[in-house]
Amino acid sequence: MKLVILDRDGVINKDSVHSIKSPEEWVPIEGSLEAISLLNKNGYTVVVATNQSAIGKKLISNVTLDSIHKKMQDLLNKKKGKIDKIFYCPHVEEDNCTCRKPKTGLMQKIKEHYSINLEKIPAIGDSTRDLEAYSKSEAQPILVRTGNGKDVEKKKSFPSNTLIFDNLLEASKFIIKME
């Protein structure tokens, strides 16, 4: 199975320090939907692993999160793309759960759901916590310079085997080329 793991906010859509709290606030980053469609057309299953602490903070409900994800899938569908499954952590940091990145619980769920070893599976994020979770799970961490990615790159606070690209579309083209 050819699998690619993506973070959501800052990778697929524009991020907000105030959280994405409605479908209207969910705005795709230029080229991100085309990137997912391109991966799909080349036989990749695309999944999302995302921290969604807005639920734990009571800023949004699960129903609202589902509406946001429906908008994302509907827009992807228009580009002939799709995200196969969305794995999310609803907790806040203080909950000390096992699923909130940089912990590996979401990655473990992906591994179990697809019965797959994550070693060298491309995993794309825009934050140190994404890259740490990917690296600890033996996936190939990829940093994009969208969202928080530029700040992370400046601080050089990421695993040494991290690949770096300007955006999801560039990263996706590289993944396809390296098959």
* Residues recognised as catalytic: 7, 9
Strands across the sheet with 45-51, in order?
Answer: 85-89, 45-51, 3-6, 122-125, 140-144, 163-165
- Whether residue 28 contacts residue 34, with contact meaning beta carbons closer than 8 Å, is answered with no
Contacts of 122 (CB under 8 A, 6+ apart): 4, 5, 139, 140, 142, 171, 175
Q: Is 79 exposed, middle or buried (0-12, 13-18, 19+ CB in 10 A)?
A: middle
- Whether residue 27 contacts residue 14, with contact meaning beta carbons closer than 8 Å, is answered with yes
- Whether residue 143 contacts residue 153, with contact meaning beta carbons closer than 8 Å, is answered with yes
| Collapsed DSSP state (helix, strand, coil) of residue 108 | helix
- Whether residue 112 contacts residue 105, with contact meaning beta carbons closer than 8 Å, is answered with no
Q: What is the DSSP letter of 142?
A: E
